[in-house]
Amino acid sequence: MKLILAIAAIFTLTSCSTGGISSNSENAYISGDGSAIVIKESERTLAPKLSGETLDGTNFSSEPGKITVVNVWASWCSPCRAEAPTLEEFAINNPDIQFVGILTRDNLSSAQSFVKRFGLTYPTLIDDAVISSFRGSLPANAIPTTIVIDADGRVAARISGQVTVSSMKEVLEKVAGSDINV
């Protein structure tokens, strides 16, 4: 009887856990709350090189000297679906800023349907291994996560969770030091 109670207690405790992954772990993928962090210029670290095969089969390599917005997303993620029109609008209205997606934990056909549905014009990298390259700065700790790289190629900001027009505008203006078109 004690063995059965012990097994039941273990089952109950483990069914409520996060599988040993805490919400502050760099490897955890949880739903973010939309909070933004902007790093002081003097404390920014060099961003990883963004390059690789894209969802449409082409190769992408980030352009040096441009502010870059990196959005980690998946088609099954409801906040990703909610923020897609906002990100596309910013990409269209700010051609001097480079936008790139990173697909994570998804299949290509669902992702291609997502891009078509939302009319995303910016490229999406299909190898999410680049996400781990952000460790030591502002890692992608939720799906979605949006990371902003400054014109000097340094990690400048992160929005953990769904971006909004106001959060994206505020972060980009702080990083760019000028007005951003919405």
Q: Which domains does the chain possess?
A: 23-176 (3.40.30.10)
Residue 124: its pLDDT value, please? Answer: 98
Beta-carbon neighbour count of residue 16 at 10 Å?
7
Q: Which residues of the chain, if any, have pLDDT below 50? A: 1-29
pTM score: 0.81
Per-residue pLDDT tens digits for 53-72: 999 999 999 999 999 999 99
Angle at 66 between CA 62 and CA 68, to 5 degrees: 65
Q: What are residue 69's phi and psi, to 5 degrees?
A: -105, 120
Residue 30: its pLDDT value, please? Answer: 55
Peptide bond into 144 cis (omega under 30): yes
Separation between Cα atoms, residue 146 and residue 165, nearest integer Å: 13
Tell me the HSE value of 117 on the side-chain side, using a 13 A CA sphere.
12
Tokens of 107: 């299949």
Tokens of 155: 């990690």
Residue 6: its pLDDT value, please? Answer: 38
